[in-house]
Structure formats: C-alpha cells, structure tokens
C-alpha cells in the first residue's frame, strides 16, 4: 500500500443528502475511470480541471451508483455521491482494495494546511452546529485571528506592555463564545417538581424530547436536547424536581440536579405561576445568583403573595417563549462579534493567549514570545 495514495471522506459521518470522497495518488484519475461508465454502459474518460460530470461508478458489492465527479488534476479526484453511510463505505472499500490508504479528514487537513490556526478552523468547521458558528469560523480561517495574533507578536517584540495587554484582553473577551461555536452552551432547567420543566423543554426544542407526566418527581433521569437559540448552539437539560426527597432514589436525583446546575453555563429556575412562593426557593437563587427566573403556567390563576421578578410563560400556549429565548441569548451572548472579529476558538489558543498575558505582566518578553510563536505554529 502506497503512502502517497489516499482516500478521504470529506463529509462528516452519518446520513446526509450528499457525501464527498476524495481520491489522491499518482494514478488517481486513471484508477477512478476504470470503474466509471455512462448510463448506457460505455466507458467514461475525465479531463483534469474540466467541469464536473455525471457517471455511474461500479461498486464492489455489485451494481453501480450514479455519482458526480470532478478531477482537479490527474492526481486528485472528488466523488460526490448520495450520503448513505453504506454507499460511502463501499466507495472507500473499492479504493482501499486497490491499495489506497484511508485517511481521516483531520489528518488530511493537517497535511494540506500549513497555517495551524487555519487548520484548527477547518477542523472546527467539520463539527460546527449552526450557521452563526460557520460565519465566525470562516473569518478565522481567512486570517482574522492570525492577523491580530501577529500584531500581538510585534507588540511583544517592541516590549509594548500596555498595547500587548490591551490587545490580548480584546481577544480573550471572546474566548468563552469561541469555545461554544462547536460545543453547545449548557442550559439547565431547574425548579420544583411538577412545574412544567419537561413541557417547557419540549416547547423550546420544538418536539417531544422529554416525558411529560402529572405525577410530581417523574423526571429522574436527565433528558437533554441540543437546539439552536437565535443561532447559538444550546444543550437544554431537564432535571429532576427539587424538593425534600422521599426516598434514596429521589435524594440521588436531587444531588445530581444540583451538580448539573452548578456546571451549567446558565440555570433557568422554573416555577409555576399557580404555586405560592416558598422561602426554600430563595436558597436556590442564592446558590445560582446569575440564574434566570421563569414562571410557567401563566395561563392559570396566579397564586397570591409576593415573589421575585421573572418572565411569565406558558409551555402550553407558547406565551412568552420568544421573550424567554431572547433572554437566554442575552445571558449567554451579551455581545455578538461583528463580521471579521478575531475570535479564539480552541482550548489551545486560549491557554496560550493567557500564558502570553501572564508572561508580559511579569515582564518576561522572551517567554511571551515563545507562547505567541507556539500559537502561530512557528
């Protein structure tokens, strides 16, 4: 098997409308043409750099599949086919049997991309969940982050502490957002039992993900659902109701709810408009002071007595849900970067930016230069 002959699946795993398989090697075009035919069974020859053509590709398990092919050169051919995983694997196997080595898309990116930040952006683009994330990552791929980091490097070389710290702080302010372009924000729905947290989760994601039951304490195993709120990837978690546990199982459920909420990016405290406020609830607001207070079941008669301010919603009618979604976004992403903004988006980048900042504050410009060079891949 030649190391110079590669077959790479460029599209993510799983079912999709279209998949792309890339064939690289000295005789890649000739090898592909051996298995091509027209609809009438006639041989097909592809001219490098010509427009894509429609043809049938003979499969190793028998039969053939209609595909679109484009030959960038005699050594590189891309096959665009139906996104069925079974079909994609058959095409890959066809070329593996011919001596091509299967290469991961991550390895292909690292091999073909000389700019480390651009390579990281391309890898993240394979995993990004929303179009907002795509837009920001494309800016980084095109050099937005690299350009600002190179300015930081110049400021370090001139020992401009004030300018360096100011620019590093500008970059680091986007770090949390950058990490959540691929990894969803975690939003925990927390509150007493039977206030409609499961119904609210279902309404927010647009389908029945959580089991809804009138019996208090029904939710014992956490239910999560990944969705997009105003274009930002978010993982909603429906937790067990907080109350005085009646048995060891409920006690464990409460313990796990507290742990999930403590680790969340945002806690949404859900109460019922129809229930009176309890002093026990004050301890939850103290535990999560940045929580968002929501009163569900606003279509029922409101209970008497004072209670903290919060959004009133109805998971049944949909009242107030648009306002709730907007407030969630306001808490998670209070400021949206403008197009072209430099946004660090990996743990590696953010760690090196922080180490650079610490070194500059110590006056250790040699160490700062080392960290910033590592970030740039030098």
pLDDT at residue 64 tops 60:
yes
Query: What pLDDT sits at residue 214?
Result: 40
Task: Write the burial class of residue 274 (CB in 10 Å: 0-12 exposed, 13-18 middle, 19+ buried).
Answer: middle
Alpha carbons 67 and 44: distance in angstroms, whole number: 12
CATH class for the region spanning 185-332: alpha beta
**CATH superfamily of domain region 6-112:** Probable tRNA modification gtpase trme; domain 1 (3.30.1360.120)
pLDDT at residue 246 tops 90:
no
Query: Averaged over 339-343, what is the pLDDT?
Result: 98
The reported pTM is 0.85
Paired sense of beta strands 185-190 and 232-238, if any: parallel
Q: Please write the tens of the pLDDT for every residue from 155-211.
A: 999 999 999 999 999 999 999 999 999 999 999 999 998 899 999 999 998 865 444
Among 2-11, 109-118, 142-151, 163-172, the range scoring the smallest mean pLDDT is 2-11
The Cα-based distances of 185 to 182, 227, 234 in angstroms read 9, 10, 5
Alpha carbons 256 and 158: distance in angstroms, whole number: 52
For the record, the structure tokens of 147 come out as 């350009």
Paired sense of beta strands 76-82 and 185-190, if any: unpaired
Domain boundaries, the chain: 6-112, 116-159+339-376, 185-332
Q: Are 172 and 369 in contact (CB under 8 A)?
A: no
Alpha carbons 350 and 344: distance in angstroms, whole number: 6
| Residue of 172, 218, 194, 191 lying closest to 349 (CA atoms) | 172
pLDDT at residue 212 tops 70:
no
* Residue 120 pLDDT level (bands cut at 50, 70, 90): very high
Alpha carbons 22 and 144: distance in angstroms, whole number: 28
pLDDT at residue 307 tops 90:
yes
Query: Averaged over 107-131, what is the pLDDT?
Result: 94
| Residue of 55, 44, 47, 37 lying closest to 71 (CA atoms) | 47
Name the phi and psi angles at 372, rounded to 5: -70, -30
Q: How many CB atoms lie within 10 A of CB 338?
A: 7
pLDDT at residue 220 tops 50:
no
pLDDT, the chain, mean: 92
As beta bridge partners, residue 55 has 67
* Residue 241 pLDDT level (bands cut at 50, 70, 90): confident
Name the phi and psi angles at 220, rounded to 5: -115, -40
Query: What pLDDT sits at residue 79?
Result: 97
Among 37-46, 240-249, 255-264, 367-376, the range scoring the smallest mean pLDDT is 240-249
Q: Please write the tens of the pLDDT for every residue from 9-50.
A: 999 887 778 999 999 999 999 999 999 999 888 988 888 987
| Residue of 180, 197, 186, 216 lying closest to 345 (CA atoms) | 180
| HSE-up of residue 51 (Cα within 13 Å, Cβ side) | 1
């Amino acid at each position: 098997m030649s190391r110079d002959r590669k077959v790479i699946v460029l599209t993510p795993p799983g079912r999709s409308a279209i998949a792309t398989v890339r064939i690289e090697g000295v005789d890649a075009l000739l090898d592909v043409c051996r298995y091509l035919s027209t609809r009438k069974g006639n041989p097909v020859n592809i001219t490098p750099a010509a427009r894509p053509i429609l043809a049938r590709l003979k499969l190793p398990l028998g039969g053939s599949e209609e595909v679109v092919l484009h030959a960038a050169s005699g050594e590189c051919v891309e096959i665009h086919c139906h996104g069925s995983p079974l079909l994609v694997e058959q095409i890959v196997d066809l070329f593996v049997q011919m001596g091509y080595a299967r290469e991961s898309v991550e390895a292909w990116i690292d091999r073909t991309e000389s700019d480390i930040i651009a390579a990281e952006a391309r890898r993240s683009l394979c995993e990004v969940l929303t179009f907002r994330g795509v837009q920001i990552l494309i800016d980084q791929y095109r050099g937005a982050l690299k350009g600002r980091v190179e300015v930081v490097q110049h400021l370090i070389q001139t020992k401009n502490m004030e300018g360096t710290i100011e620019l590093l702080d500008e970059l680091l302010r986007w770090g949390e957002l950058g990490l959540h372009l691929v990894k969803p924000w975690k939003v925990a729905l927390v509150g007493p039992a039977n206030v409609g947290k499961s119904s609210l989760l279902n309404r927010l994601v647009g389908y029945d993900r959580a089991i809804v039951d009138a019996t208090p304490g029904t939710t014992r195993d956490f239910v999560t659902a990944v969705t997009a709120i105003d274009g930002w990837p978010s993982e909603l978690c429906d937790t067990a109701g907080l109350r005085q546990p009646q048995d060891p199982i409920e006690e464990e459920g409460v313990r796990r709810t507290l742990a999930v909420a403590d680790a969340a990016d945002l806690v949404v405290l859900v109460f019922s408009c129809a229930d009176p406020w309890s002093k026990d609830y004050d301890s939850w607001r103290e535990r999560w002071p940045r929580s968002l207070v929501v009163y569900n079941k606003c279509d029922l008669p409101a209970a008497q007595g004072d209670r903290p301010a919060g959004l009133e919603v109805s998971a049944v009618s949909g009242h107030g849900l648009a306002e709730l979604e907007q407030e969630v976004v306001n808490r998670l992403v209070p400021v949206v970067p403008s197009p072209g903004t430099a946004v660090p988006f990996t743990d590696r980048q953010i760690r090196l930016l922080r180490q650079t900042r610490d070194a500059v504050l110590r006056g250790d410009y040699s160490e700062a230069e080392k960290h910033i060079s590592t970030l740039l891949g030098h």
